A and B are shown apart, each in its own frame.
Chain A
Amino acid sequence: EPEVTQTPSHQVTQMGQEVILRCVPISNHLYFYWYRQILGQKVEFLVSFYNNEISEKSEIFDDQFSVERPDGSNFTLKIRSTKLEDSAMYFCASNGRPSQPQHFGDGTRLSIL
């Protein structure tokens, strides 16, 4: 069964550094999402992306965050200048239509030191 894949599984970065989290959505999917889960808390929506532009973003997704689909397979989340509070598990998801369930990757654990 096709999967959403995320790399790396764990990223450790110094505060203030830029980080790029990578995702390969399921190949025939058109809608892409990023969520984050701070340890012990609920999964929170960050941003959705369709047709090469952001569809919706949450309050968390401020100017430090950006997303990109640089080619036909990758979908990336960039955090420009990381803060301690960015430490979390980041999940990528995709679906073929909004009415279909979103399929999630295994996540990238981001640790900011």
Chain B
Amino acid sequence: GEDVEQSLFLSVREGDSSVINCTYTDSSSTYLYWYKQEPGAGLQLLTYIFSNMDMKQDQRLTVLLNKKDKHLSLRIADTQTGDSAIYFCAESGGANTGTASKLTFGTGTRLQVTL
């Protein structure tokens, strides 16, 4: 079955860049997502990338996809204390209408931003 792996913890200083990594096994993954979860809160969609893209940039966020190695990364530029949260990588394979497409989540990376 599908599997998505992430490192558990990352600590960075405020103002530095953070890079959160994710690997996945399903070669038919069509979309890859990054969600943010703050303590006690729900899952906030940050950004996503289609599998035929290599890179996507959205303000402070840059997503890089290496489809050959099945590796996805999220770079947060100028990391702020408000970025402290758990970041989940997720993949889905479906793009067909008429069939709902489940998300398979990684274990989550806890990002700690220090002053």
Which A residues are closer than 8 A to B by beta carbons? Answer: 31-33, 35, 41-45, 48-51, 55-56, 58, 91, 93, 97-99, 101-107
In the complex, chain B residues whose CB is within 8 Å of the CB of A49: 100
Interface size on B, residues (CB 8 A): 28
A107 contacts B42, C-beta separation under 8 Å: yes
Kindly count the residue-residue contacts between A and B in the assembled complex, taking CB atoms under 8 Å apart. Answer: 73
In the complex, chain A residues whose CB is within 8 Å of the CB of B45: 101-104
B94 contacts A42, C-beta separation under 8 Å: no
B101 → chain A, closest Cβ, in Å? 4
Which of B13-21, B73-81, B103-111 interfaces with chain A? B103-111
A98 → chain B, closest Cβ, in Å? 4
A48 contacts B105, C-beta separation under 8 Å: no
For B50, the closest partner residue in chain A by CB is A99
- Selected from B33, B42, B103, the residue in CB contact (under 8 A) with A105 is B42
11 A/B residue pairs, CB under 8 Å, sorted by A: A33-B100, A35-B105, A42-B88, A43-B43, A43-B103, A45-B103, A48-B102, A56-B99, A99-B95, A101-B48, A106-B41
- Interface positions of B from 29 to 44, Cβ below 8 Å from A: 30-31, 33, 35, 41-44
In the complex, chain A residues whose CB is within 8 Å of the CB of B88: 42-43
B33 contacts A48, C-beta separation under 8 Å: no
B48 → chain A, closest Cβ, in Å? 5
A106 contacts B105, C-beta separation under 8 Å: no
B33 contacts A101, C-beta separation under 8 Å: yes
B99 contacts A50, C-beta separation under 8 Å: yes
Is B62's beta carbon under 8 Å from chain A?
no
CA distance A105 to B90 in the complex (A): 16
Is B96's beta carbon under 8 Å from chain A?
yes
For B46, the closest partner residue in chain A by CB is A101
For B95, the closest partner residue in chain A by CB is A99
B43 contacts A48, C-beta separation under 8 Å: no
CA distance A103 to B41 in the complex (A): 14
For B31, the closest partner residue in chain A by CB is A99
CA distance A32 to B107 in the complex (A): 23
